[in-house]
Copies of this chain bind each other. A is one copy, B any other.
Amino acid sequence: MADMVIGTAAFRPLHMATCKVQCSNCNLREICIPVGLTREELTYVENRLVAVRRKVGRGEMLFHSGDAHDALFAVWTGFFKTVVTSEQGREQIVGFHMAGELIGFGGLGSGRHDVDAIALEDSQVCVIPYAELASLERELPQLQKQFHTLVSREIAADHEVMFLLGSMHAEERVAAFLLNLMHRLRARGFSASSVLLRMSRGEIGNFLGLKLETVSRTLSKFHADKLLDVRQRQIGILDPAGLQRLLDGLPAAR
């Protein structure tokens, strides 16, 4: 996999694969930071944000917990997990992140990242230097607004996860997880009837507070109940309404 990039390959300040970013041409501009900006503002932001893209291979770390926090990252392609690690090495996945989502909010204030960010497949992120972002935020109210929206979306999402972890049974957790994934993919124009999982059963289980065997069993049960078509990591969503019903406390169906 050569580190070739859009247009010129001349711009590559570090040894890591990077390239100049053009928000105005990006297909995620209606989801990501630039939402609501006029065309002029957008070009201005592009130039000022001097963001570069960075490639992160499958399994590689985008950043470590404790690293100096001088930038946020917008997922452009690929898929990430963010992980909290305790002193003793116990790990808890606190989020999965797909195209258009920002990573790194947890370290804004302290100046240190509070999680590890790891690519689950070969990915590319836009690097958003924090100092520039803060400065632009002061100049462009609309950008400030969108920044607030993205932060608060992260918080609201975390609250949903706490709800899941604090009050759902295994089957509900798995159903909620799949529906959430489905909704986010649909919002990005992908098929809502089929999901290719980017993470292992173990990672799903870790995120959901379950063991991998429980996740596997639950998926098998959903398969048997004709809610899903499980083929390894390729999951067909046969009955979204049925999954939703599980969440609504109606155990079976009807």
Question: A207 near B: Cβ within 8 Å?
Answer: yes
Separation of A208 and B93 alpha carbons in the complex (Å): 18
Residues of chain A at the chain B interface (Cβ within 8 Å): 84, 86-88, 90-94, 105-110, 114-115, 134, 137-139, 141, 144-145, 148-156, 158-163, 165-167, 206-209, 247-249
Kindly list chain B residues whose C-beta atoms are within 8 Å of the C-beta of A151: 105, 108-109, 151, 155
A165 to B, closest residue via Cβ? B165
Task: Choose one: B134, B154, B160; the contact of A144 (CB below 8 Å).
Answer: B134
Given A134-B144, A148-B134, A151-B105, check contact A86 B156 (CB 8 Å).
Answer: no
Secondary structure class of chain A's binding surface, majority of residues: helix
A141–B152 contact, CB under 8 A? Answer: no
Across the interface, which residues of B come within 8 angstroms of A137, CB to CB? 137-138, 144
Option from B134, B150, B163, B209 in Cβ contact (under 8 Å) with A92: B163
Task: Give min CB distance, A138 to chain B, whole Å.
Answer: 5
Chain A to chain B: the 10 pairs with minimum beta-carbon distance, closest first:
A109-B149, A108-B152, A165-B165, A158-B158, A109-B152, A166-B209, A92-B163, A114-B156, A108-B148, A106-B155
Closest chain B residue, CB of each to CB of A108 = B152
CB of A150 to closest CB in B, whole Å: 7
Minimum Cβ distance to chain B for residue A153 (Å): 6
With A94-B163, A144-B138 already in contact, the answer to whether A149 and B86 are too (CB < 8 A) is no
